[in-house]
Protein backbone atom coordinates (compact mmCIF):
# COMPACT_ATOMS: atom_id res chain seq x y z
CA UNK A 1 0.00 0.00 0.00
CA UNK A 2 1.28 3.46 -0.83
CA UNK A 3 0.40 6.66 0.98
CA UNK A 4 1.29 10.26 0.35
CA UNK A 5 3.88 11.49 2.84
CA UNK A 6 3.02 14.67 4.72
CA UNK A 7 5.50 17.55 4.66
CA UNK A 8 8.19 17.99 7.22
CA UNK A 9 10.11 14.71 7.09
CA UNK A 10 13.68 14.23 5.93
CA UNK A 11 14.35 12.19 2.81
CA UNK A 12 17.69 10.61 1.91
CA UNK A 13 18.81 10.50 -1.71
CA UNK A 14 21.65 8.00 -2.01
CA UNK A 15 24.59 9.08 -4.15
CA UNK A 16 25.86 6.20 -6.28
CA UNK A 17 28.18 8.08 -8.63
CA UNK A 18 30.98 10.57 -7.96
CA UNK A 19 29.68 12.72 -10.82
CA UNK A 20 26.82 13.81 -8.54
CA UNK A 21 29.20 15.36 -5.97
CA UNK A 22 30.84 18.77 -6.30
CA UNK A 23 34.27 17.98 -4.83
CA UNK A 24 35.08 21.66 -4.28
CA UNK A 25 32.45 22.03 -1.54
CA UNK A 26 30.76 18.61 -1.07
CA UNK A 27 27.42 19.80 -2.40
CA UNK A 28 25.15 17.63 -4.47
CA UNK A 29 24.72 18.34 -8.16
CA UNK A 30 21.22 18.66 -9.60
CA UNK A 31 21.71 15.45 -11.62
CA UNK A 32 21.38 13.49 -8.36
CA UNK A 33 17.74 14.60 -8.25
CA UNK A 34 16.89 13.91 -11.90
CA UNK A 35 14.24 11.24 -12.44
CA UNK A 36 15.01 10.96 -16.16
CA UNK A 37 14.39 8.54 -17.80
CA UNK A 38 12.02 7.34 -15.08
CA UNK A 39 8.78 8.95 -13.88
CA UNK A 40 9.76 8.91 -10.22
CA UNK A 41 12.78 9.43 -7.99
CA UNK A 42 13.63 6.91 -5.28
CA UNK A 43 14.37 8.16 -1.75
CA UNK A 44 14.37 6.79 1.80
CA UNK A 45 12.45 8.44 4.61
CA UNK A 46 14.31 9.01 7.89
CA UNK A 47 11.12 8.41 9.90
CA UNK A 48 11.57 6.03 12.83
CA UNK A 49 14.95 4.57 11.86
CA UNK A 50 18.49 4.97 13.15
CA UNK A 51 21.38 6.42 11.19
CA UNK A 52 22.82 2.88 10.98
CA UNK A 53 19.59 1.61 9.43
CA UNK A 54 19.58 4.52 6.98
CA UNK A 55 23.08 3.59 5.82
CA UNK A 56 22.14 -0.08 5.68
CA UNK A 57 19.35 0.78 3.23
CA UNK A 58 21.84 2.82 1.18
CA UNK A 59 24.32 -0.06 1.01
CA UNK A 60 21.49 -2.34 -0.10
CA UNK A 61 20.48 0.06 -2.89
CA UNK A 62 24.08 0.28 -4.09
CA UNK A 63 24.49 -3.50 -3.98
CA UNK A 64 21.27 -4.07 -5.95
CA UNK A 65 22.57 -1.74 -8.66
CA UNK A 66 26.17 -3.05 -8.52
CA UNK A 67 27.38 0.45 -7.65
CA UNK A 68 29.32 2.13 -4.86
CA UNK A 69 27.58 4.11 -2.13
CA UNK A 70 29.46 7.43 -2.03
CA UNK A 71 27.11 9.15 0.38
CA UNK A 72 23.69 10.67 0.65
CA UNK A 73 22.07 14.06 0.48
CA UNK A 74 19.07 14.81 2.67
CA UNK A 75 16.17 17.05 1.74
CA UNK A 76 13.04 17.98 3.63
CA UNK A 77 9.86 16.66 2.05
CA UNK A 78 8.32 20.14 2.37
CA UNK A 79 11.02 21.45 -0.02
CA UNK A 80 10.07 18.72 -2.47
CA UNK A 81 6.37 19.60 -2.23
CA UNK A 82 7.15 23.31 -2.63
CA UNK A 83 8.24 22.34 -6.16
CA UNK A 84 4.80 20.87 -6.95
CA UNK A 85 5.96 17.29 -6.47
CA UNK A 86 4.59 14.67 -4.11
CA UNK A 87 6.32 12.11 -1.93
CA UNK A 88 4.62 8.75 -1.91
CA UNK A 89 5.48 5.97 0.51
CA UNK A 90 6.46 2.81 -1.40
CA UNK A 91 7.77 0.28 1.14
CA UNK A 92 9.80 -2.69 -0.07
CA UNK A 93 10.69 -5.85 1.87
CA UNK A 94 14.28 -4.56 2.17
CA UNK A 95 13.33 -0.96 2.93
CA UNK A 96 10.05 -0.19 4.69
CA UNK A 97 10.93 3.54 4.49
CA UNK A 98 11.31 3.61 0.71
CA UNK A 99 9.37 6.37 -1.04
CA UNK A 100 9.13 7.92 -4.49
CA UNK A 101 9.08 11.55 -5.52
CA UNK A 102 6.30 11.84 -8.11
CA UNK A 103 4.70 14.50 -10.28
CA UNK A 104 7.61 15.23 -12.59
CA UNK A 105 7.11 16.81 -15.98
CA UNK A 106 7.82 14.51 -18.91
CA UNK A 107 10.03 17.24 -20.39
CA UNK A 108 13.69 16.77 -19.45
CA UNK A 109 14.48 20.51 -19.46
CA UNK A 110 11.66 21.10 -16.94
CA UNK A 111 12.93 18.21 -14.81
CA UNK A 112 16.37 19.86 -14.78
CA UNK A 113 14.93 23.12 -13.47
CA UNK A 114 13.19 21.33 -10.58
CA UNK A 115 16.29 19.20 -9.87
CA UNK A 116 18.31 22.42 -9.63
CA UNK A 117 15.90 23.78 -7.00
CA UNK A 118 16.01 20.53 -5.03
CA UNK A 119 19.81 20.46 -5.08
CA UNK A 120 19.88 24.01 -3.71
CA UNK A 121 17.75 22.93 -0.73
CA UNK A 122 19.47 19.59 -0.14
CA UNK A 123 22.18 19.01 2.44
CA UNK A 124 25.83 18.76 1.61
CA UNK A 125 26.98 15.22 0.95
CA UNK A 126 26.93 13.08 4.08
CA UNK A 127 29.54 10.38 3.84
CA UNK A 128 29.06 6.86 5.23
- Give the DSSP letter string of the chain: ---BPPTT-EEEEEE-SGGGEETTTTEEPGGGG--TTSSSEEEEE-TT--HHHHHHHHHHHHHHTT----EEEEEEHHHHHTTT-EEEE---SS-TTEEEEE---S-HHHHHHHHHHHHHHSPPPB--
Per-domain residue ranges of the chain: 10-121
Taking only the tens place, the pLDDT of each residue in 41-87 is 999 999 999 999 999 999 999 999 999 999 999 999 999 999 999 99
- Check pLDDT > 90 for residue 38: no
Over residues 4-26, the pLDDT tens digits come to 565 569 999 999 999 999 999 99
Amino acid sequence: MTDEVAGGGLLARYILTRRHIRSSNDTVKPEAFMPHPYIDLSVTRHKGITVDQLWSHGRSVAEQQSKTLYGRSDIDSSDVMANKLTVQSDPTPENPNHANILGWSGVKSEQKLVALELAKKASKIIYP
